[in-house]
Amino acid sequence: MFKNYIKIAWRNLWKNRGYSSINIVGLAIGLACCLLIVLYIHDELSYDKYHVNKDRIYRVINSFEENEKLIRHDVWGVAPIGPALKADFPEVKNVVQFSGVTSISLKNNEKVFQEERVFFMDSTAFDVFSWKVLAGNPTTALTAPYTAVLTASTAKKYFGNENPIGKTLEGGLAAGRADPGLYKVTAVIEDVPTNSHFTFDALLSMSTFRKALPDYFDSWGYVDFYTYVLVSDQFNLSNFNKKIPQFLKKYSASSEGKYNFNLEPMLDAYMHSTAGRQPGVTGSVQNLYIFAIIGLFILFIACVNFMNLATSRSMERAKEVGVRKAIGASHRNLILQFMFESLALVFIAALLALLLVIILLPSMEAFAGKHFAWSSLFNLTTFSIFLGIVTITGIIAASYPAFILARFKPVEVLKGTFKTAAGGQFLRKGLVIFQFGLSIVLIAGTCIVFSQLHHLQHTNLGFQQDQMLVIDYNFDNEINKNLESIKNTFKRDKDVIAVSSSRSVPGAFFPNAGTEIESTEGKMVPLAPALFEVDIDFIPNMGIKMVAGRAYSRDFPADSAHSMIINEAAAKLWGYSNPQDIIGKRFAQWGKEGQVIGVVKDFNYLSLHNKVEALALRLEPWSSKFITIKLQQANLPETIARIEKTWTGLAPHIPFNYTFLDQSFQRQYEADYRFQRIFTTFSGFALFIACLGLLGLVTYTAQQRTKEIGIRKVLGSSVFGIIQLLSFDFIKLVIIAMCIAIPLAYWAMGKWLNNFAYHIDMQWWMFGIAGLSALFIALATVGYQALKAAKANPVDSLRDQ
């Protein structure tokens, strides 16, 4: 019997090659999309799980309050918390601390690179984290000052195939955390896995940092450290939290009553943390839910299409069922036969889906920002999930057609009085409404995502973005000593409009500064605004507008010691709704005292995900890291070549590391662009599969009304009239889908837009485009099949079949 099932299944597949191809391709695309989404979600959820002690690693989340108001809730915190936790809590078995990310130029003979992903880290790093050591002793690798651990790719970049252990790299100024010196390579580790919430190319010993700035390690006010702890197997977070108040009371004199903390599991760092100042990138749970829902919907649509296309051909096989039953075939045998045929299609679709995924896998890195190795596709978890999806899909997709076909009554079929049940028609129409409702939601979502990202690209941020060349020289002392001379040299270039220097530029790292400003009541109120350390030319060069007071000026020599400029948000934070009223008020910040001389218009120095927060612009050019050059439009490549030549003559010891400000600022939206690409692509696949489903229902309806169409043509009905007859019912279904989908899309995309502090307002045309697009696609799909039915020979239609 099994052999007979195979023969019949093969004959039917071959006889109906076009139908089978549509069915297989639709389901294969659905399964492939679902598998790709599973790979993406699995990778997102795998972050940091490669660490052996992953469930026992926590990190300190630091909270800072001013005037009983929470002003910061960051991972980035103070150094003394680490040793204090180790000393006061026996359940804390080990502590590792590392600095904020550091940029440092490293040199080996003629090979000079500026490394942007470097941390100063404690020697206990390898007791807590599980990075694979390829060479060297992990226990002592980061013990001595001026020692370094390199990743394999970094070691190869400097030393080629030579053994780097014991060799030295000449290191420049490390972002103010250590003086230049020779770093001895003490260990090499495998490149940090990409599914880590922070990654790096090199680690420098924390003792180097401590040697340069020992006072910072006892200060409860200096913030520059990430603290991670390894706890015991019996650790209970709830019990630990109960001890925190007593711990803080013990150290309250040092922290001035402003400091608080809690522990966060490391496994929550990437996907679930809400703290600021993260050591690396973070993910979005919301986006995972969106992709998971899209994946399930695509799979569901594919299953529905499979069933619709199968049942749309039920009339062709009705007589086969009648004859088989008449000669003794049992209900069970028929179900098994049709189940086998459907499962065969599902199996072929699954193989095709795997092939599609294998073909697409290499392009996923550029598309989704992730690298998927072949092993990720065939590992136990992913492959088990895929097999489960295929099995469930096969059972669901195969069961409905099998039970429907096996239920046909032989007497009715052979007499020609067989009719399909009304319930089945309602079910299929309901599924079409669901399919196109989802499609309209996805089309509207795509329009809104594109509009929001266009808004991000073209919103006036309050500063000059275009043609701004930013050179990163990493705080080099020689350059900072000769800044004015270097700037004047650049100004002599015919394509250079203006030049300035600063420690930060919009979109780059900046510190926060403890700052006191005189309030309206005459009291000195302490807060901690963001800080840009700039030169005199920064504000005019960046095109930042003044709303009160004046900018820094060479006409006022006292500006360098006794003046400060803030933004509108800072003025409001200190209680001045009118910026003019804060001009002349006293300030104290990091050893500098004087008066507020100006207020700049708020500009978006961070991405539009964030509201503009309080900012102080401190005149301190000798703390600069960047030189920003405003260029003319013409001859850009030639201009860059000339500037590079000039730079090499001025600073041959520093690589010419440059970016354009608009490009570097837009990097903050990489995750949003990645979301756009994934969302749009899978939306397109969902729409395509929905069209296949509609094609199935149109085919089914045309078959059911074959004789009616023949009679109408004989009686004089036109081709257009027949098309109109068959299309009208489906147009109604799409209109119903629009009525359901548009409010749903409005609600869902409103939730997504709330992730941005500055976002577009949803317009009616976005939903209009979605509805009309779905309507047009439906008309094209229905029209093709309706035209085919309308042009059929009425003699063939009326012949008894």
Segment 440-451, tens digit of pLDDT: 898 899 999 999
Mean pLDDT, rounded, for 306-329: 63
pLDDT at 362 over 90: no
Beta-strand runs (E) in 100-165: 102-108, 111-121, 133-136, 147-151
| Same domain (yes/no): 236, 174 | yes
Structure-token match 């651990």, residue found: 149
| Same domain (yes/no): 699, 781 | yes
pLDDT digits (tens, 9 = 90+) for 694-747: 776 676 666 666 777 777 777 777 777 777 777 777 788 888 999 999 999 999
Report residue 330's pLDDT band, with 50, 70 and 90 as the boundaries.
low
CA distance 526 to 349: 66
| Same domain (yes/no): 591, 492 | yes
| Same domain (yes/no): 116, 146 | yes
Distance of CA 173 to the CA centre of its chain: 33
C-alpha pair distances (Å), 185 with each of 153, 182, 218: 14, 10, 28
What pLDDT shows up at residue 576?
96
pLDDT digits (tens, 9 = 90+) for 414-442: 555 545 544 456 766 777 788 788 888 98
Residue at 625 is within a domain: yes
Residue at 294 is within a domain: yes
Residue at 472 is within a domain: no
pLDDT digits (tens, 9 = 90+) for 132-187: 999 999 999 999 999 999 999 999 999 999 999 999 999 988 877 888 899 999 99
Q: Which of 469, 514, 507, 510 is nearest to 623 (CA)?
A: 510
| Same domain (yes/no): 141, 89 | yes
* H or E, element range at 165: none
pLDDT digits (tens, 9 = 90+) for 734-743: 889 999 999 9
| Beta bridge mates, 3 | none
Residue at 662 is within a domain: no
Last residue of a domain, one of 652, 681, 696: 652
pLDDT digits (tens, 9 = 90+) for 58-102: 999 998 876 666 677 899 999 999 999 999 999 999 999 999 999
Kindly report the number of other CB atoms within 10 A of residue 166's CB atom: 9
| Same domain (yes/no): 612, 519 | yes
| Same domain (yes/no): 103, 122 | yes
HEC sequence for 745-787: HHHHHHHHHCCCCCCCCCCHHHHHHHHHHHHHHHHHHHHHHHH
CB 587 within 8 A of CB 593: yes
| Beta bridge mates, 566 | 599, 616
Q: In the chain, how many domains are there?
A: 4
pLDDT digits (tens, 9 = 90+) for 375-389: 777 777 887 888 888
Last residue of a domain, one of 249, 268, 287: 268
Mean pLDDT, rounded, for 462-471: 95
C-beta pairs of 490-496 under 8 Å, 24+ apart in sequence: 490/627, 490/629, 490/643, 490/646, 493/639, 493/642, 493/643, 493/646, 495/631, 495/632, 495/634, 495/635, 495/639, 495/642, 496/629, 496/630, 496/631, 496/632, 496/639, 496/643
| Same domain (yes/no): 705, 640 | no
What pLDDT shows up at residue 416?
53
| Same domain (yes/no): 638, 494 | yes
Percent over 70 (pLDDT), the chain: 85
Question: Does pTM top 0.75 for this prediction?
Answer: yes
CA distance 289 to 241: 31
| Same domain (yes/no): 771, 697 | yes
pLDDT digits (tens, 9 = 90+) for 287-315: 899 888 888 888 887 877 777 666 655 55
Mean pLDDT, rounded, for 210-232: 92
| Same domain (yes/no): 438, 389 | no
Q: In degrees to the nearest 10, what's the CA dihedral of 122, 128, 133, 138?
A: 50
Residue at 94 is within a domain: yes
Go through the chain and tell me how many residues it has.
Answer: 801
CA distance 697 to 726: 11
C-alpha pair distances (Å), 219 with each of 100, 123, 169: 16, 21, 31
Q: How confident is the prediction for the chain on average, in pLDDT? A: 86
Q: Is the dihedral of CA 179, 185, 191, 197 positive or negative?
A: negative
| Same domain (yes/no): 542, 683 | no
Kind of pairing between the strands at 181-189 and 168-171: antiparallel
Distance of CA 176 to the CA centre of its chain: 31
C-alpha pair distances (Å), 435 with each of 138, 430, 685, 772: 56, 9, 12, 15
CB neighbour list of residue 19: distance below 8 Å, 6 or more residues apart = 309, 313
CB 304 within 8 A of CB 435: yes
CB 255 within 8 A of CB 220: yes
Structure-token match 């004015």, residue found: 484
Last residue of a domain, one of 652, 687, 716: 652
Residue at 660 is within a domain: no
Report residue 6's pLDDT band, with 50, 70 and 90 as the boundaries.
low
Exposed (0-12), middle (13-18) or buried (19+): which is 775, by Cβ within 10 Å?
middle
Least confident span in 132-136, 317-321, 530-534, 606-610: 317-321
CA distance 302 to 340: 19
pLDDT digits (tens, 9 = 90+) for 750-765: 999 998 999 999 999 9
pLDDT digits (tens, 9 = 90+) for 592-620: 999 999 999 999 999 999 999 999 999 99
Residue at 411 is within a domain: yes
Kind of pairing between the strands at 133-136 and 147-151: unpaired
Mean pLDDT, rounded, for 329-345: 70
User: Which residues constitute the domain of residue 1?
Assistant: 1-46+53-75+269-419
Q: Which tops the pLDDT comparison, 55 or 17?
A: 55
Residue at 663 is within a domain: no
Q: Which tops the pLDDT comparison, 300 or 550?
A: 550
